Structure 1
Amino acid sequence: MLRGFLVILACNLFMVAAVQAQKLNNQLDSLILAAMPDQQGPGAAFMVARKGEVIYQKAFGKANLELGVNLSNESVFQLGSMTKQFTAVAILLLAQQGKLKVNDPISKYIPDYPGGDKITLHHLLTHTSGIKDFTKMKALAEIAQKEMTPKMMVDFFKDEPVDFAPGERFEYNNSGYVLLGYLIELVSGVTYANFIQQHIFDRLGMKHSYYASDRKVIDNRAYGYQKKESGFVNKTAINFSVPFASGALMSTLGDLLKWQNALVNNKLLNTAETQQAFSRYKLNNGELFNYGYGWHIKEIGGLTVRTHGGSIFGFKSMGVYVPGKDIYVVGLTNCDCNSPTVLTENIARLVITETLKSK
């Protein structure tokens, strides 16, 4: 009798959970389609995970307009500045190995860097260094399609006047992360691409993540587009040695979940280093700012979240993690006309609300 009751109860609970899951699925479909109604143009792929498991994953629109190929959950997108997460963790891995310290001045590794005795790796990681952001330099167009070594990239911006003294204010800065990539090479003795491959991608089984290339044949590649008055065009070409450690990685929804789960479960970093990545820091005047090492630290729906987006010719990306609920939301798009930032945050809000209702 009791056993039969328990079986019926389990079946009812399963049915309730299934109904709730389908309701959330329909709500997410509606939210995304309202924001991105054109299914014949470039599109996006979205994923929601809770407690490390996928609860929603779907692709919309085309991976290649010329061939009429649809995007899929396995499509490989350029990440743009979501790359900074990987660069920051690579620095913390080297710190964990005792090969550097985040409070080291950059002059320890690049003796001739102007003012390098006052700028630390911490300043670079937190966008508080004051060095010139190379993406704001007019001369960028002259090198955008050239093969640049990391040293050439650093030399490109290092003699520019600084915008402010180190630690004086927070100002998002791509040059700082190019410098960090160069330091990773100097300290580890291998290229940035190889370091990320060996110490992150290979260790975590991220088999569909790459240092970007337009020449390499990449299975399930999503092609990047831009929108002009005349319609969609193929993305502007850029040599990936230019964004380098600030924005040159590619990945998929599934691989990014492996990455997020590894961070949550300390598969790469110890607790102390993880804490460094996700802490808020203070400016020289004692004011807190909302950035850790490679992640923005902000609030959505009254909950603390870790976020970071990315934008590079033809692609935009956004990732949101809610530690208190162990919810991870990712949006990847293959047209820089489609920013997933607000949509991804709205998906997170919806999932948080529905999660609270089901308690």
Structure 2
Amino acid sequence: MQLKPIFLSLLFLLLSFQSATAQTYEKKIDSLILTGFGNTNEPGGAFLATKKGKVIYRKAFGKANLELDVNMTPDNVFQIGSMTKQFTAVAILMLEQQGKLNVNDPVSKYIKDYPSGDKITIHHLLTHTSGIKDFTKMKALSGIAQKEMKPEMMVDFFKNEPVDFAPGEKFEYNNSGYVVLGYIIELVSGQTYEDFIKKNIFEKAGMSHSYYATDRLLIPKRAYGYHQKEYGFVNKTVISFSVPFSSGSLMSTVDDMLKWQQALNQNMLLNAAETKKAFQKYKLNNGEEFTYGYGWHLKDINGTPDREHGGSVFGFKSMGVYIPSEDIYVIGFSNCDCHSPTEITRNIAKIVLQSGKK
């Protein structure tokens, strides 16, 4: 009969240990984030860390709107910039799974007049090895930045620029390639990129707070974007989201991005064979391997392989890290391009990874 008090004591100790562990996590991660997001009267950010699907950290810092003096919450919606490329890559693989295209198809199969389109493949576009000119590096960009551009107009904007290198010769991060991919998604599916992503990814994964970016429509819990000048903060530069298009025009929340990661893990959107294509390293023409799959950088955290990608668009920065072996996912968003969540997010992943190995 003496077992009951002993059992209760052990249970109490276990719960106390778990609580202490959670508090240690929280203190470590708090101190890490506060180095960059410590001012409560500035634009801020939201961070989420999970392990094996369980949320171990979820907090927001600073202001979602400076003019209205609104505090940031973990529910706020951010522009995610180049993390959009993950969705574009998966959309392409979904179309391949449906038999509507092949990643080894030449671009000319879909865009007849694309210069050297018979030599550039969808695979080259996905892996940033196409050599086509990155439109973000073109001086003429300012002339179209606020114009409403159809995907075909965007492709026409850069397609006749001299190439930087032959397809497959080197890896060089390239936004233009992902704009071409978005146009191909529209041509093959018969849907707009926005509708395709919404119906085939957001709705299937239950991402009810994710959107194709807009400055016109009302977005509940939108975080407003800012730049920092010498004299203080200003509202973000206005651009037409039809310009970054499928290379950087989506919006989401930290919780929805977790749903995205879980949908990929559970093969909810792609079968295992197609999913594998996104997360394997590929080789250049000379046989040299590079550290990018389809829409993700494939690197490591303290020697443990991870999948990661960041984003930067006027007024916002984002970063996501996933460690497959430990099922650790960390996502960080900022609503000022003066505060980068990149290293903080990677360092949070290190803390969670190290704690699991003790």
TM range (shorter): over 0.9
Following superposition, the deviation at residue 45 of structure 1 comes to 0.4
The separation in 2 between residues aligned to 1:51 and 1:183, in whole angstroms, is 35
2:193 equivalent in structure 1 = 192
Greater Cα shift, 26-35 or 227-236: 26-35
Counterpart amino acid of residue 205 in structure 1? G
Size of the aligned set, in residue pairs, is 357
Following superposition, the deviation at residue 3 of structure 1 comes to 5.6
- Asked if structure 1 preserves the Cα contact closer than 8 Å seen for 2:63 and 2:71, the reply is yes
SS in 1 for 2:111: coil
2:241 equivalent in structure 1 = 240
2:251 equivalent in structure 1 = 250
- Asked if structure 1 preserves the Cα contact closer than 8 Å seen for 2:38 and 2:61, the reply is no
The separation in 2 between residues aligned to 1:67 and 1:248, in whole angstroms, is 25
Following superposition, the deviation at residue 268 of structure 1 comes to 0.8
Q: 1:335 aligned to 2:336?
A: yes
Superposed, 1:65-80 pairs within 5 Å as: 65-80=66-81
Greater Cα shift, 33-42 or 142-151: 33-42
Following superposition, the deviation at residue 205 of structure 1 comes to 1.0
2:97 equivalent in structure 1 = 96
**Percentage identity across paired residues of the two chains:** 66
RMSD: 0.9
Counterpart amino acid of residue 83 in structure 2? M
The separation in 2 between residues aligned to 1:147 and 1:138, in whole angstroms, is 18
2:316 equivalent in structure 1 = 315
Counterpart amino acid of residue 307 in structure 1? E
The separation in 2 between residues aligned to 1:6 and 1:157, in whole angstroms, is 70
Counterpart amino acid of residue 286 in structure 1? G
Per-residue displacement from partner, 1:277-332 (whole Å, max 9, x unpaired)? 00000000000000000000001111001000000000000000011111000000
1:47 equivalent in structure 2 = 48
1:110 equivalent in structure 2 = 111
Which 4+ stretches in 1 moved above 6 angstroms?
Answer: none
Using the size of structure 2 for normalisation, the TM-score is 0.98
1:30 equivalent in structure 2 = 31
The separation in 2 between residues aligned to 1:282 and 1:21, in whole angstroms, is 42
Following superposition, the deviation at residue 247 of structure 1 comes to 0.1
Superposed, 1:1-359 pairs within 5 Å as: 1=1, 2=3, 5-357=6-358
Following superposition, the deviation at residue 265 of structure 1 comes to 1.3
- Asked if structure 1 preserves the Cα contact closer than 8 Å seen for 2:38 and 2:62, the reply is no
Per-residue displacement from partner, 1:249-270 (whole Å, max 9, x unpaired)? 0000110000001111111111
Following superposition, the deviation at residue 346 of structure 1 comes to 0.9
SS in 2 for 1:119: coil
SS in 1 for 2:57: strand
Following superposition, the deviation at residue 7 of structure 1 comes to 4.2
The separation in 2 between residues aligned to 1:105 and 1:155, in whole angstroms, is 17
- Asked if structure 1 preserves the Cα contact closer than 8 Å seen for 2:128 and 2:174, the reply is yes
Counterpart amino acid of residue 295 in structure 1? W
Using the size of structure 1 for normalisation, the TM-score is 0.98
Counterpart amino acid of residue 41 in structure 2? Q
Following superposition, the deviation at residue 11 of structure 1 comes to 3.0
SS in 2 for 1:148: coil
